[in-house]
Chains A and B, each alone.
Chain A
Amino acid sequence: DGGITQSPKYLFRKEGQNVTLSCEQNLNHDAMYWYRQDPGQGLRLIYYSQIVNDFQKGDIAEGYSVSREKKESFPLTVTSAQKNPTAFYLCASSIGQPPNTGELFFGEGSRLTVL
Chain B
Amino acid sequence: KNQVEQSPQSLIILEGKNCTLQCNYTVSPFSNLRWYKQDTGRGPVSLTIMTFSENTKSNRRYTATLDADTKQSSLHITASQLSDSASYICVVSQLSGHKLIFGTGTRLQVFP
Contacts and interface: CB of A to CB of B under 8 A. Distances in A.
B104 A98 contact: no
A103 B99 CA distance: 14
A44 to B, nearest CB: 8
Interface in B40-67: 41-46, 49, 51
A92 B46 CA distance: 12
Interface string B65-88: 000000000000000000000000
Interface of B: 4, 31-32, 34, 41-46, 49, 51, 89, 93-105
A108 B93 contact: no
A109 B41 contact: yes
Interface size of A as a range: 20 to 34
A92 B43 CA distance: 9
A66 B100 CA distance: 20
27 contacts: A41-B104, A42-B4, A42-B101, A42-B103, A42-B104, A42-B105, A43-B89, A44-B102, A88-B41, A90-B43, A92-B43, A97-B98, A98-B93, A98-B98, A98-B99, A99-B32, A99-B95, A101-B49, A101-B51, A104-B34, A105-B46, A106-B44, A106-B45, A107-B43, A108-B43, A109-B42, A109-B43
